Amino acid sequence: MKPRIGITYTYNPGEAGRVNDNARAYVDSVEAAGGDAVLLENDASRAREALRGIDGLILSGGADVEPQRYGEPIHEKTQASNPARDDFEIALARLARERGVPTLCVCRGLQVANVAFGGTIVQDLASEMSEHYTLHHQQVREDGEERTTAVEAHAVEVEPRSALANLLGTVRFATNSMHHQAVRAVAPALRAVAWTSDGVIEALDAEFEHPFFYAVQWHPEELLEDPISRKLFGGLVEASRKSAGATSR
């Protein structure tokens, strides 16, 4: 039986459980890795129930996390938050840690996990880095229009002795970049293990015991044929298969 991989995402009212443009690439990546994608409704009151129905979890990309959740006033460049999704994903991150559910956190998902465990966020890299903002992490065209294709935009350097380096089998690779926020203070339960040349954190490893818990700032789901992406999604599906076979939730 294929392991069931729960995917969080943003949807319009009445569309929970339907594949839309926000979820499609994640669904395709999970299915290509041999998993069965399950789209999750943003309902924090049912977080425990949601975890009982899946074998693995993806906290996906999306809008910015509400700054009050990490103790900061809102920046003028911070996007409007989705309180229901914030509540649900923060609850899921904590429960997935507690219950050992294999988890992959992508872009916003990395930031959610960091906030859930006590970390903070840089609300707008371009504003804070000023003249040092040279890599254009939001991937925009020269005319300022946001790119619609997730091309490989910059290199990521990974700590050689990290769990992530072990999973990926490499310590340097090119990938995409589609974010304007990033980790500031790393949560005590996590550890920064990858960076771009300008010092922006690109990945976090878990400092707690867990079968599979990785958080990346780039978007591997947009690079379906990329070997790094295949290792992330393949690793999640394999860990979820083992977890499903070892225990019943």
Domain boundaries, the chain: 4-246
Phi-psi region of 118 (alpha: psi -120 to 50; beta: other; left: phi over 0): left
Length of the chain, in residues: 249
- Residue 105: active-site member: no
Q: Which CATH number is 4-246 given? A: 3.40.50.880
Catalytic residue among 66, 202, 221, 222: 221
Q: How far is CA 164 from CA 34, 147, 229, in A?
A: 21, 28, 12
Look up the pTM and report it.
0.93
- Residue 219: active-site member: yes
Catalytic residue among 105, 107, 137, 154: 107
- Residue 221: active-site member: yes
In this predicted structure, the answer to whether residue 65 has a pLDDT above a threshold of 50 is yes
Q: Are 192 and 186 in contact (CB under 8 A)?
A: yes
Catalytic residue among 137, 180, 219, 222: 219
> Helices H, strands E: what count in the chain?
7, 11
User: How would you class 9 by CB atoms within 10 Å of its CB: exposed for 0-12, middle for 13-18, buried for 19 or more?
Assistant: buried
DSSP 129-197: HGGG--S-TT-B-TTSPBPSS----EEEEE-TTSHHHHHHT-SEEEE----S-EESSPPTTEEEEEE-T
**Residue range 104-133, pLDDT digits in tens:** 999 999 999 999 999 999 999 989 878 777
Q: How far is CA 193 from CA 138, 166, 211, in A?
A: 21, 11, 18
**Residue range 188-230, pLDDT digits in tens:** 999 999 999 999 999 999 999 999 999 999 999 999 999 999 9
